[in-house]
Chains A and B, each alone.
Chain A
């Protein structure tokens, strides 16, 4: 069974440029998470989807960040325009819906560097 797929693995851009990250969760997983992990810290939730509905997005900086999961499967996270402080690893995870015990399966992450 394929795991969570993310692309690209690495991205270097200049500030004020747009950038997009893609995630394909494990087949059958209704819940999808986007996290940001700054250097030396734990992941911080940006947004959580249940199928195509964004149910937790209070941590998403909505002035520059947007996300979508149109068909309830794969998802895209966009930053426009990027700032220096956006340099981080962006992690996508998925899980089965509805149970607190359901572990999240993480993708390899996208390491973003903003110059």
Chain B
């Protein structure tokens, strides 16, 4: 079974609008972390935001927020006020604490295009 599912292969958004990128996850471990990364066409992976499984509040980092719905095993990324520079691949990832190790698993990614 897929541990991380990103169902949107591609998304389009108008500049200055908000966009939500979906991510669902599957784990039986009570302790885990959820991450979002941005990968521009240049190839580097850029960390955006982190949510721990025990965190009570949704994480926010500037224009990025994580809509964490634990019961639904959902960790959607919300980008507010999209900018042209937000055009990139976005990856959701989970790190499970299994036996003291933290095993990272990435989804297949969503391509976001911001148009003027």
Contact = CB atoms under 8 A, between A and B. Distances in A.
Contacts of B43: 89, 108-109, 111
Contacts of B25: none
Given A89-B43, A93-B45, A109-B43, A100 B103 contact: no
B31 interface: yes
Nearest to B46: A106
B47 A105 contact: yes
B106 A43 contact: yes
A76 B57 CA distance: 40
Interface residues of B, number: 27
Contact of A42 (B44, B47, B101, B108): B108
A28 interface: no
Contacts of B46: 106
Contacts, number: 56
A103 B103 contact: no
B106 A100 contact: no
B52 A101 contact: yes
Contacts of B35: 103-104
Nearest to B111: A40
Contact of B44 (A33, A56, A108): A108
Nearest to B91: A42
Nearest to B55: A101
Interface string B1-26: 00010000000000000000000000
B75 to A, nearest CB: 14
Contacts of B93: 42
Interface of A: 33, 40-45, 48, 55-56, 89, 91, 93, 100-101, 103-109, 111
